[in-house]
Chain A
Amino acid sequence: MNRTSWSIEELRTLLSTVSHDLRTPLSVITGRASVLRETVREEQRRDLDTIIHEAQRLSRTLENLLAITEAYRETAPREWIPVEELVGGVLARLESSLEGRPVNVAVPDDLLAHIHPVRGELLLANLLDHLATHTPAGAPIDLTAQRDDGGISIEVASHSTELRAAEAQQQVTQRATRADAFALAACQTIISSYSGSIEASEGNGGGTVFHIRLPDGEALPDLAEPAGAELVGAEPSGKEAE
């Protein structure tokens, strides 16, 4: 083949083929390691956990790669999703990489984000994972979100002083060459596809704060439920919402 450049469409097809071809070996590696894990001694179990963890990380890199190519092509369909639901999905998914780091979530109950559910999760997962990767085990992560004028803003922060905000900012804005920088570049691509923005800055007293601004793509939905008012269940002695 004699050619000097690829079209975007060709690259997309190539990426999708490559990611399919990588996914099967990754599944076999994770699967085989998880079978072995049940049969070996404690020390070896830690090695297998590392294999599983790294295979999962590779799998997420693949996902970011696909998200970047998809987001360049088209804006993913947006839905109104409670931010609390997005956060719940992300925390469940990242349980092992967070290694017990407390995540302090301050999100209003009724806060809705207008975003694609899978890309929204990927966006938050990348930021939390970045902070977890660059801070000592046990260092807390704060996640706050609120509605502002015509959209929402989200902050994901770690106050661990080992983190350098300038570096994170560079990774958000520059074309990435390392895997974790690549994840932040994917965040930038995802949020830009919704005309939003993301930046990293230094927090009060050190650490890194990611600021996301996500404008709504349409007017907030009317959530009135005509026939849902009366309560089922018995006496007021029952336990109410926590």
Chain B
Amino acid sequence: METVLVVEDESAMRRFLHDALTTAGFTVVEAHTAALAEQLANEARPAAILLDLGLPDSDGISLLRRLRAWCAVPVIVLSARHREDDKVMALDAGADDYLTKPFSTGELLARIRVALRHSHKLTFASNPVLTVGPFRIDQTRHEVTIDGTLIHLTPIEFKLLALLARHAGKVLTHRQLLQEVWGPLNNHQTHHLRVHMAALRRKIEQDSRWPRWLTTEAGVGYRLRDE
């Protein structure tokens, strides 16, 4: 049974997360301070960490940076909708994903499933052919099919789709996408990325105004859904 470390200072929220996760078959350990969280991250060997960004004794971002110095366990941060900058900072500091309060149990478990799947996958060699939903992305032949039908993508659209597919289910920030696709020295701005994403969406979505797979996380980045 896998262990989830819940780092949250509000006791009612902690109890809810405890109950939801226990019902889903996880073992839960809880920390209400950053100090205790660091200790438990080491001792309890969690498979995933849920981290509220508003801790009393240390801000969540510094805790995240300290954890990332020695620990690769997936971290999902909990944050409010209007705190986009905090989310981006947390993701760029090494968080794997985030949940916007209020969220449902379904969303919580879906995020944890994705995070666990990615951390297990790290042990396997990367596969040249990625399959996500109806998409089959052949990274060697640079070919993409949707339900078996070949589609045409520009090199940038292909890179974006392959990158999102390698992280299927997870959010990627604008900065992460810009750096990976255009290189660390690029001077492209977010609107370049948005325009390419819009073009990609028109090619891979049945209705690009109501996207089923390639979703926008306002002010944060993009996600390729895998379920």
Contacts and interface: CB of A to CB of B under 8 A. Distances in A.
A2 interface: no
A192 B69 CA distance: 45
B203 interface: yes
A157 to B, nearest CB: 16
A88 B210 contact: yes
A221 B189 contact: yes
Interface residues of A, number: 64
A33 B142 CA distance: 46
A206 to B, nearest CB: 26
Given A31-B20, A235-B150, A237-B150, A88 B104 contact: no
A202 interface: no
B191 A223 contact: yes
B54 A89 contact: no
B65 interface: no
A151 interface: no
A242 B202 CA distance: 7
A84 B195 CA distance: 10
A42 interface: no
Contact of A31 (B105, B195, B209, B211): B105
Nearest to A235: B150
**Which residue, A70, A120, A241, has most C-beta atoms of chain B within 10 A?**
A241
B146 A239 contact: yes
Given A30-B103, A88-B216, A234-B143, A20 B54 contact: yes
A242 B146 CA distance: 13
B121 interface: no
B150 A234 contact: yes
B42 interface: no
A118 B82 contact: yes
B44 interface: no
Contacts, number: 170
B194 to A, nearest CB: 6
Interface in B4-62: 10, 12-13, 16-17, 19-20, 23, 54
Nearest to A80: B191
B193 to A, nearest CB: 10
Interface stretch (B90-98, B123-131, B153-161, B165-173): B153-161
A91 interface: yes
Interface of B: 10, 12-13, 16-17, 19-20, 23, 54, 80-82, 84, 101-106, 108, 142-144, 146, 149-156, 158, 189-192, 194-199, 201-203, 205-206, 208-211, 215-216, 218-219
15 contacts: A26-B101, A27-B101, A28-B13, A30-B104, A70-B82, A79-B190, A85-B201, A88-B215, A223-B191, A225-B192, A227-B155, A233-B158, A238-B151, A239-B150, A242-B205
Given A31-B105, A232-B158, 7 more contacts: A34-B105, A59-B81, A81-B194, A88-B208, A228-B196, A232-B153, A239-B152
